[in-house]
Amino acid sequence: MRKGFQISVEGDFDAAHCIRDYHGACSRLHGHTWRVRSIYRYEGALGSDGITLDLKVLKQALHEVLAHFDHQFLNELLDERNITAEYL
């Protein structure tokens, strides 16, 4: 049996979107505060310090990704898809 470790970090961003071909209020432009959880899984031995990866590194990586989406109109940014919570 393999031992594994899992840690996660969370962040959020604000963005607008509309759901195309939807018959309801969400077909109109509206915004959300999107909450994102990033999960890091590691299989192997812990380092001598007892950690797999410094949480500061994970938090910074997530922050950089979310900054790309913050205060954007997601339909323009990701125009190849219908922007739903499932897709995003």
- What would the pLDDT profile of 12-66 be if each residue is shown by its tens digit? 999 999 999 999 999 999 999 999 999 999 988 888 888 888 899 999 999 999 9
CA R_g for the chain: 17
Distance CA 27, CA 45 (A): 49
- What order do you get walking across the sheet with 30-43 strand by strand? 30-43, 4-17, 72-73
Nearest to 75 by CA among 29, 28, 17: 17
**pTM score of the predicted model:** 0.80
pLDDT in the model for residue 2? 55
User: In this model, does residue 71 exceed pLDDT 60?
Assistant: yes
What number is the average pLDDT over the span 2-9? Answer: 84
